[in-house]
């Protein structure tokens, strides 16, 4: 059974940092692209960042570029999202997901999803 478990969310003030983790089990982690998405109430699930199987290639949405950093440790089957200089508009549930291939910015591409972790940024 494949599982992706996010952790590290919380309530922080504007300008603070958080580091999200996504730990996988039940799949060949190194064979999957990992993506982070977020969803605020009443909105669609939006692409945040993705990282290639080797970790060599990373992509970010324009909203988070320069503030967020995605990384992965294949030996530990874990991906990370370092979020710096957080803003109130970053408030959302953050999801990690794993994809074998396809359009990395499109939620439908991803084969497996975590349950999400809440990030709330107060002003």
- Does pLDDT of 49 surpass 80? yes
Residue 60: band (very low, low, confident or very high) from pLDDT cuts 50, 70, 90: very high
Asked if 108 and 43 touch (Cβ cutoff 8 Å), the reply is no
pLDDT digit string, tens, across residues 88-108:
999 999 999 999 987 788 999
Residue with tokens 């003030």: 13
Here the tokens at position 26 are 């039940």
Q: Between these two residues, 82 and 105, which has the higher pLDDT value? A: 82
Here the tokens at position 109 are 């591409």
């Amino acid at each position: 059974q494949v599982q992706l478990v996010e952790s590290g969310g919380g309530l922080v003030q504007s300008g603070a940092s958080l580091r999200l983790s996504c730990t996988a089990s039940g799949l060949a982690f190194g064979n999957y692209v990992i993506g982070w998405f977020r969803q605020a109430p009443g909105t669609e699930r939006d692409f945040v960042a993705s990282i290639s199987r080797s970790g060599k290639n990373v992509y970010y949405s324009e909203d988070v570029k320069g503030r967020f950093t995605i990384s992965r440790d294949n030996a530990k089957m874990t991906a990370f999202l370092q979020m710096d200089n957080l803003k109130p508009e970053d408030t959302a549930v953050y999801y990690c997901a794993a994809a074998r291939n396809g359009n990395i910015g499109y939620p439908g591409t991803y084969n497996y999803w975590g349950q999400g972790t809440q990030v709330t940024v107060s002003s």
